[in-house]
């Protein structure tokens, strides 16, 4: 399987360097697609002509997320301690400058206008070529039809919303109930044989696809006998997947929990599950998507609480319940929320945009940064210095090879916390240290637009876990009908296949921060071609036997890499139990003169609702009411 040459895998088509020549790449893809074949597969109502990648970033393919050009200036100051030339004074002056145009930065603008009036002059500065931060839209156009996918932040966990966030959603006309009603998507659990597991012959004795194989459910012996690992590993799995039995009967509940929070999930499998090492490795990437971590980084309790098998060894029944994760989603993930926010803040960008048409609304990026808008959004610009002054703040940013300065009464840093000490060396040492505590979890989301789902349909699958591969899991992305967009759950194509997870750190990265940094280094070290070769290899091995032609059926690839992904959340094995007010994120987010601090990092919790709550707090602090 993996012995295929690049040519066998279809990498010979002129798609190299798609990260640099977006237009040319799109043209190549469009040309590769026969219009006659397309006509039969157009089932949605999302027909429209393709915008140009030159002025509309969501259609850009290749390396996205942290794309080339977005991070180099920040790395120059943070990693190399480089300075920038004396900035050119733009003469621009604002009430508020916001660093970072993710959900939190955009919400900051909303709350500032609520607090200080609609005439407040606001500038958002964002280092990427698109707004939304992690809430990234990937938009594909094939044969006159638009296919949407998400490039980062997936969904709304609405049951966790604070009153602040509930009000925010109301103010943006977001109706979570209606969103749920328009959703058939279940992370690839709607096909008869899903979820499945695929074993490749690089890592296992045999390449094999096992239907209805979900490690978190009780596995039957017959299924275990098909897993291509050693006989000893299979026997240990049979013992592990036994009927419920409380193996901790000698401990009371509190003692048991304390113990399970003190050992890793991997140790739990080894010590109490009785699994051999080659059986244990099947579980290593089980939570790559959910936590962005290897199982060895999680405590046994964290693993079990979030769905990894083990409850049966505490005497609890194997769950017979099906899929139970009622998150609300747009067809481009939470990018639609960012779009709704931008349309409210700068109406000229997308006039008439509402929650009912946001997924299809046209956005004019040329209107984002016009001098006569009270709110302006400046893309592809990296803030490299923020300083308090007698009259407010000075903000220096780097764009198109030059350094510029703007002035502002207030500044909110809605960017990643780990960069803040480098932007703002004036901060007290204790706060700088606390900000540096936030090492984000690198996350990876690769969208592969496939011509059709025939091979998947033939196999009866729409989600597959791949132990041992770069991406832990893949699933089809369709069946979300809202914001004006329609995409039936059984639409045969073209469909985006999402390869999802994080990247395993090397075994010698022991402590959590070393694991995260090593994973980030690997992510940034891989080229687009490396990612492309990986997804083509998997598609060829997994779907090739069912007729998928990897040379013809891959229409586009967008690799959304997020070296600074999920906000760091405190973990059982690695963090202290901090008293209220003393946790690093609470020290880190304190107001400093005219500068306040937002972002999901400020809540030490990787959620959209947290990003909004933290924006609200930051503005309250500036207004003196917090």
Ligand X SMILES: Cc1cc2nc3c(=O)[nH]c(=O)nc-3n(C[C@H](O)[C@H](O)[C@H](O)COP(=O)(O)OP(=O)(O)OC[C@H]3O[C@@H](n4cnc5c(N)ncnc54)[C@H](O)[C@@H]3O)c2cc1C
Among 58, 133, 188, 421, binds ligand X (CB under 6 A): 133
Q: Which residues contact 293 (CB under 8 A, 6 or more apart)?
A: 287, 441, 502, 512, 515
Q: Quickly list H helices, 272-412.
A: 277-280, 300-305, 335-345
Q: Could you give the CA distance from residue 502 to residue 519 in angstroms, rounded to a whole number?
A: 8
Residue 476 β-bridge partners: 497
Q: Is 146 in the site for ligand X (CB under 6 A)?
A: no
**Binding letters toward ligand X, positions 329-368, x by CB under 6 A:** ----------------------------------------
**Binding letters toward ligand X, positions 395-434, x by CB under 6 A:** -------------------xxx--x---x-----------
Q: Is 608 in the site for ligand X (CB under 6 A)?
A: yes
Q: Report the residue number, 59 or 443, with the smaller CB distance to ligand X.
A: 443
Rg of the chain taking only CA atoms, in angstroms: 24
DSSP 246: B
Q: Report the residue number, 299 or 382, with the smaller CB distance to ligand X.
A: 382
Question: Looking up tokens 């139970």, which residue turns up?
Answer: 324
Q: How many residues bind ligand X (CB under 6 A)?
A: 37
* Nearest-approach distance from CB 262 to ligand X, in angstroms: 28
Q: Could you give the CA distance from residue 223 to residue 530 in angstroms, rounded to a whole number?
A: 33
* Nearest-approach distance from CB 388 to ligand X, in angstroms: 17
Q: Is 125 in the site for ligand X (CB under 6 A)?
A: yes
Q: Report the residue number, 6 or 171, with the smaller CB distance to ligand X.
A: 171
Find the part of the chain contacting ligand X (CB under 6 A) among 152-160, 193-201, 469-477, 549-557: 152-160
Cis peptide bond N-terminal to 276, omega within 30: no
Q: β-strand 463-465 against 473-477: which pairing, if any?
A: antiparallel
Q: Could you give the CA distance from residue 376 to residue 121 in angstroms, rounded to a whole number?
A: 8
Among 92, 157, 175, 267, binds ligand X (CB under 6 A): 157
* 79-86 long-range Cβ contacts below 8 angstroms, 24+ apart: 84/384, 84/385, 84/396, 84/398, 84/403, 85/402, 85/403, 86/403
Q: Is 618 in the site for ligand X (CB under 6 A)?
A: no
Q: Is 393 in the site for ligand X (CB under 6 A)?
A: no
- At 70, list the tokens: 């977005």
Q: Is 606 in the site for ligand X (CB under 6 A)?
A: yes
Number of CB atoms found within 10 A of residue 42's CB = 15
Among 41, 138, 142, 153, binds ligand X (CB under 6 A): 153
Q: Which residues contact 72 (CB under 8 A, 6 or more apart)?
A: none
**What count of residues does the chain have?**
626
**Binding letters toward ligand X, positions 430-449, x by CB under 6 A:** -------------x-x----
**Binding letters toward ligand X, positions 56-95, x by CB under 6 A:** ------------------x---------------------
**Among candidates 307, 296, 311, which has minimal Cα distance to 257?**
311
Q: Report the residue number, 77 or 280, with the smaller CB distance to ligand X.
A: 77
Q: Is 382 in the site for ligand X (CB under 6 A)?
A: yes
Positions in 169-208 near ligand X (CB under 6 A): none
Q: Report the residue number, 22 or 154, with the smaller CB distance to ligand X.
A: 154
Q: Is 135 in the site for ligand X (CB under 6 A)?
A: yes
- At 157, list the tokens: 């966990």
**473: helix, strand or coil:** strand
Q: Report the residue number, 135 or 358, with the smaller CB distance to ligand X.
A: 135
Q: Is 328 in the site for ligand X (CB under 6 A)?
A: no
Q: Is 134 in the site for ligand X (CB under 6 A)?
A: yes
Q: Report the residue number, 327 or 583, with the smaller CB distance to ligand X.
A: 327
> DSSP of 355-386, one letter per residue?
TTTTTT----GGGTT-TTSSEEEE-S-EEEEE
Positions in 583-602 near ligand X (CB under 6 A): 599-600
CB 497 within 8 Å of CB 476: yes
Number of CB atoms found within 10 A of residue 326's CB = 12
* Nearest-approach distance from CB 187 to ligand X, in angstroms: 11
Give me the residues that bind ligand X (CB under 6 A), please.
Answer: 74, 99-100, 102-105, 125-128, 133-135, 152-155, 157, 382-383, 414-416, 419, 423, 443, 445, 562, 565-566, 599-600, 606-608, 611
């Amino acid at each position: 399987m993996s012995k295929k040459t690049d040519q066998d895998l279809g990498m010979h088509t002129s798609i190299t360097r798609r990260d640099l020549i977006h237009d040319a790449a799109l043209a190549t893809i469009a040309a590769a697609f026969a219009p006659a074949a397309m006509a039969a597969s157009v089932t949605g109502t999302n027909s429209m002509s393709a915008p140009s990648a030159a002025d509309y970033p969501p259609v850009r393919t290749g390396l996205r997320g942290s794309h080339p050009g977005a991070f180099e200036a920040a790395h120059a100051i943070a990693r190399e301690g480089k300075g920038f030339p004396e900035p050119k004074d733009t003469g621009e002056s604002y009430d508020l400058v916001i660093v970072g145009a993710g959900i939190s930065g955009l919400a900051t603008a909303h709350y500032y206008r609520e607090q200080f009036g609609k005439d407040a002059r606001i500038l958002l500065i964002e280092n990427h070529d698109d707004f939304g931060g992690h809430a990234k839209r990937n938009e594909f156009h094939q044969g006159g039809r638009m296919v949407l996918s998400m490039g980062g932040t997936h969904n709304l966990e609405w049951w966790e919303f604070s009153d602040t966030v509930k009000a925010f959603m109301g103010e943006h006309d977001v109706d979570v109930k209606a969103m749920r009603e328009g959703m058939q998507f279940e992370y690839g659990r709607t096909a008869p044989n899903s979820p499945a597991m695929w074993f490749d012959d690089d890592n296992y004795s045999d390449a094999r696809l096992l239907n209805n194989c979900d490690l978190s459910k009780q596995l039957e012996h017959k299924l275990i006998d098909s897993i291509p690992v050693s006989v000893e590993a299979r026997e240990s799995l049979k013992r592990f997947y036994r009927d419920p039995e409380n193996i901790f009967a000698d401990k009371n509940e509190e003692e048991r929990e304390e113990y399970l929070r003190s050992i890793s999930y991997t140790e739990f499998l080894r010590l109490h599950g009785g699994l051999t090492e080659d059986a244990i490795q099947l579980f290593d990437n089980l939570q790559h998507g959910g936590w962005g971590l290897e199982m060895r980084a999680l405590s046994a309790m964290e693993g079990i609480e979030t769905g990894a098998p083990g409850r049966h060894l505490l005497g609890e029944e194997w769950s017979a319940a099906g899929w139970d994760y009622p998150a609300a989603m747009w067809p481009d993930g939470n990018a639609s929320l960012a779009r709704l926010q931008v349309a409210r803040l700068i109406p000229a960008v997308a006039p008439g945009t509402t929650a009912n048409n946001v997924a299809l609304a046209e956005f004019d990026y040329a209107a984002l940064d016009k001098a006569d808008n009270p709110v302006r959004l400046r893309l592809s610009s990296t803030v490299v210095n923020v300083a308090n002054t007698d009259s407010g703040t000075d903000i220096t940013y780097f764009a198109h090879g030059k350094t510029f300065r703007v002035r502002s009464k207030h500044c909110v840093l809605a960017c990643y916390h780990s960069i803040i000490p480098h932007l703002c060396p004036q901060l007290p040492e204790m706060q700088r240290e606390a900000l540096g505590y936030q090492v984000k979890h690198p996350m990876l989301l690769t969208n592969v637009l496939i011509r059709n789902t025939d091979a998947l349909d033939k196999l009866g699958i729409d989600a597959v876990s791949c132990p041992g591969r770069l991406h832990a899991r893949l699933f089809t992305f369709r069946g979300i009908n809202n914001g004006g967009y329609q995409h039936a759950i059984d639409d045969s194509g073209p469909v985006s296949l999402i390869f999802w997870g994080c990247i395993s750190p090397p075994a010698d990265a022991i402590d959590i921060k070393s694991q995260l940094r090593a994973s980030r280094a690997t992510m940034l070290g891989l080229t687009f071609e490396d990612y492309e070769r990986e997804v083509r290899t998997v598609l060829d091995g997994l779907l090739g036997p069912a007729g998928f032609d990897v040379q013809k059926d891959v229409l586009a690839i967008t690799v959304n890499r997020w070296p600074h992904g999920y906000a760091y959340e405190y973990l059982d094995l690695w963090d202290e139990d901090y008293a209220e007010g003393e946790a690093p994120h609470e020290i880190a987010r304190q107001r400093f003169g005219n500068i306040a601090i937002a972002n999901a990092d400020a809540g030490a919790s990787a959620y959209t609702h947290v990003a909004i709550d933290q924006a609200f707090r930051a503005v309250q602090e500036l207004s003196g009411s917090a």
